Chains A and B, each alone.
Chain A
Amino acid sequence: MPPVVYYLTTLIVFFFVFAISTWGLNLQFGTAGILNFTYITFFAIGGYFTGVVMLGRPDALSNMRYILGLDLPFPIALLVGAGAAGVLGLLVGLVALRRLRSDYLAIVTVSVGAIVYDFVNINTAVFNGADGIAGIPYPFNDLLGLDPNTYTFFYVGLTGVFTLVLGLIAFRIYDSPLGRTLRAIREDSDVAAAFGKDTYRFRMIAMVVGCVYAGIAGSLLVGFISALNPGGWAAGETFLLYAALLLGGRGNNWGALLGAFLVPVLFQEATRYLPPIPNRPELIPAVRNMIVGALLIGILWFRPQGVLPERKAAFKDLKYVPRRKVAGVE
Chain B
Amino acid sequence: MNSASAQGAILGIEDLHFSFGGLKAVNGSSFSIERGWINALIGPNGAGKTTLINVISGALRAEGGKVHFEGTDITGWPSHRVAGRGLIRTFQISRELGGMTVLENMLVPPPHQAGERLFNAMFRPAVGHDQDRLLVEKALARLDEFGLYDSRDQYARNLSGGQKRLLELARGVMADPRLMVLDEPFAGVNPALVELLEGHIQKLRDTGITFIMVEHNLNVVERICDHVVVMAEGRTLATGRLSELRTNQEVITAYLGGALTQHPHAATAVGVEVAVKDAPRLEPILAVTGLTAGYGRVPVVQEVDFQAEPGKVVAIVGPNGAGKSTMLKAVFGLLRNTSGSVKLGGQDIGGWAAFRIARGGMAYVPQVINVFTNLSVHENLEMGGYTLQSGVQKRVEAVLEIFPDLKTARSKKAGNLSGGQRNMLGMARALMLEPKVVLLDEPTAGLSPAYTRVVWDQIRRVAGLGTAVVVVEQNVDLAVNNADWVYVLVAGRNRMDGPAAVVGKEDLPSIFLGGEVPANLAASVQ
Residues of A whose CB lies within 8 Å of any CB of B are: 169, 172-173, 175-181, 183-184, 186-188, 190-199, 202, 205, 209, 251, 310, 312-313, 315, 317-320, 322-324
Contact = CB atoms under 8 A, between A and B. Distances in A.
Contact of A194 (B57, B121, B128, B155): B57
A49 to B, nearest CB: 22
Contacts of B80: 192-199
Contacts, number: 127
Contact of A310 (B81, B99, B111, B131): B99
Contact of A178 (B104, B109, B116, B155): B116
A176 B115 contact: yes
A315 B118 contact: no
Q: Which A-B residue pairs are the 5 nearest by beta carbons?
A: A177-B115, A196-B83, A176-B121, A187-B97, A193-B79
A193 B100 contact: no
A184 B95 contact: no
Given A176-B120, A320-B137, A184 B115 contact: no
B101 interface: yes
Contacts of B132: 177, 315
Contacts of A169: 122
A172 B98 contact: no
25 contacts: A172-B121, A173-B118, A176-B116, A176-B121, A177-B114, A177-B115, A178-B116, A178-B118, A180-B104, A180-B108, A183-B104, A184-B97, A187-B97, A187-B98, A187-B99, A194-B57, A196-B81, A196-B111, A209-B118, A251-B99, A312-B101, A313-B100, A323-B144, A323-B145, A324-B149
Given A177-B116, A177-B128, A190-B59, A322 B144 contact: yes
A184 B106 CA distance: 11
Main secondary structure of the interface of A (DSSP, over half): helix
A28 B348 CA distance: 48
A162 B284 CA distance: 71
Contacts of A312: 101, 104, 153, 155
Interface residues of B, number: 48
Nearest to A209: B118
A191 to B, nearest CB: 5
Interface string B377-411: 00000000000000000000000000000000000
Interface in B212-264: none
A181 B108 contact: yes
Given A173-B121, A175-B125, A181-B116, 14 more contacts: A177-B121, A178-B120, A180-B100, A183-B97, A187-B99, A188-B95, A191-B108, A192-B108, A195-B80, A195-B83, A197-B108, A202-B116, A320-B140, A322-B144
B117 interface: yes
A62 to B, nearest CB: 39
B141 A193 contact: no
Contact of A318 (B84, B121, B140): B140
B297 to A, nearest CB: 17
Interface in B66-124: 78-81, 83-84, 88-91, 95, 97-101, 103-104, 107-109, 111, 113-118, 120-122
Given A178-B121, A181-B116, A195 B153 contact: no
- Most-contacted residue by chain B among A173, A179, A196, A202 (CB, 10 A): A196
A187 B95 CA distance: 9
B136 interface: yes
Nearest to A317: B133
Given A177-B113, A199-B80, A312-B155, A191 B140 contact: no
Nearest to A326: B144
B81 to A, nearest CB: 8
Contact of B122 (A173, A195, A313, A318): A173
B83 A193 contact: yes
Contact of A195 (B88, B98, B100): B88
A316 to B, nearest CB: 9
A181 B7 CA distance: 37
B175 interface: yes
A315 B136 contact: yes
A195 B100 CA distance: 16
B200 to A, nearest CB: 15
A1 to B, nearest CB: 38
Contacts of B115: 176-178
Contacts of B100: 180, 183-184, 187, 313
Given A196-B111, A196-B175, A320-B141, A191 B125 contact: no
A251 B155 CA distance: 15
B111 A172 contact: no
Contacts of A191: 91, 95, 97, 108
Given A177-B116, A177-B132, A323-B144, A195 B108 contact: yes
Nearest to A173: B121
Contacts of B136: 315, 318, 320
B97 A177 contact: no
A178 B153 CA distance: 20
A175 B98 CA distance: 18
Nearest to B175: A195
Given A195-B108, A312-B153, A188 B78 contact: no
A184 B108 CA distance: 7
Nearest to B83: A196
